[in-house]
Amino acid sequence: MSKESQRTLREEARRAKSRIKSGFWSECKEDMTEHLEKAREQGLNESKAEQFFKAKVTDRISGEKEDGFYLKVKEMLLSEGEVSDAIGRLTDKEYYDTLSYEEKQRYNLTLSEKYLRALERFRKEYEFDSLHTNA
């Protein structure tokens, strides 16, 4: 194991210990119980709600921030809903014009995959948003 990975492992262990001492996991368990109860009351799928909120905790631990692409997709979906030309709207036109035919095909495929992941994430957040914001 390299010194860098040992240092990283040591830092992660320190962070984990800090989460335990601060009551992070107790708080997460209470939040989860509360959210699942609200899901049950609203007739939502409890296992989907549990998966959604577990992912939120994981993101919180990893310090993952919402990326710019997702925020752009979210803004588009909130303002206009699902549109037929979403990929065209999300395309970086200046960059796209510099690509060869094959690169454009790859770019479109990659952009489509990113859009579908962002759309799926948006749908999950939208479905469970009332549980998360009312807590």
pLDDT digits (tens, 9 = 90+) for 63-113: 555 578 889 999 999 999 999 999 999 999 999 999 999 999 999 999 999
Helix spans in 23-91 (H):
24-41, 46-62, 68-80, 86-90
Confidence of residue 1 (pLDDT cuts 50, 70, 90): low
* pLDDT at residue 47, as a whole number: 81
* pLDDT at residue 43, as a whole number: 83
pLDDT digits (tens, 9 = 90+) for 26-75: 888 888 888 788 878 888 787 877 887 777 777 677 655 557 888 999 99
Q: Is the pLDDT of residue 116 over 50?
A: yes
pLDDT digits (tens, 9 = 90+) for 6-20: 668 888 888 888 888
Residues 17 and 48: their CA atoms lie apart, in Å, by 29
Q: Is the pLDDT of residue 134 over 50?
A: no
109 CB neighbour count, 10 Å cutoff: 11
